[in-house]
Amino acid sequence: MASNLEQFARNSLEFRPSDVRLMLERVHSHIVKPRMSAEELRKVVTGLGFASVEAFGDQIGLERRTSESWSRYGLSRDAAQLLLALLNYRTRLVDAMDDFEKTTQIPLDGFFENQQLP
């Protein structure tokens, strides 16, 4: 909390009139733009290889209440775009690994699934 207040204070010192547009865009993104539904979010995290939104949140270090909120209410559109990009990247990587395995007969997916993330 203290670091958030320090960051807010630093940003306030550097505030420019053009920042108003960015703040309004942020509010618009969270309030007006359509959210990714909870059902869509569950499909995305399942596609990323997680059993639940909470399991995904635990892996990336989210507070449990944030994961529970996402699981119930969905995700803002800008955050959803990031997750969809990750899912797209994972799909392309799996396809490339499958092509590699067909050509070389070397199974890469088992190697990656046994590795622990830092």
DSSP secondary structure of 37-69 = PHHHHHHHHHHTT-SSHHHHHHHHT--HHHHHH
Specify the pTM.
0.67
Residue 15 is predicted with a pLDDT of 79
Residue 89 confidence class, pLDDT cut points 50, 70, 90 = very high
Residue 37 is predicted with a pLDDT of 94
**How far is 88 from 84, CA to CA, in rounded Å?**
6
**How far is 57 from 67, CA to CA, in rounded Å?**
5
pLDDT in tens, 8-49: 777 777 878 887 888 888 888 778 888 899 999 999 999 999
Structure tokens at 12: 């306030």
Residue 2 confidence class, pLDDT cut points 50, 70, 90 = low
First-to-final CA distance of the chain: 25
Residue 54 is predicted with a pLDDT of 95
Residue 101 is predicted with a pLDDT of 84
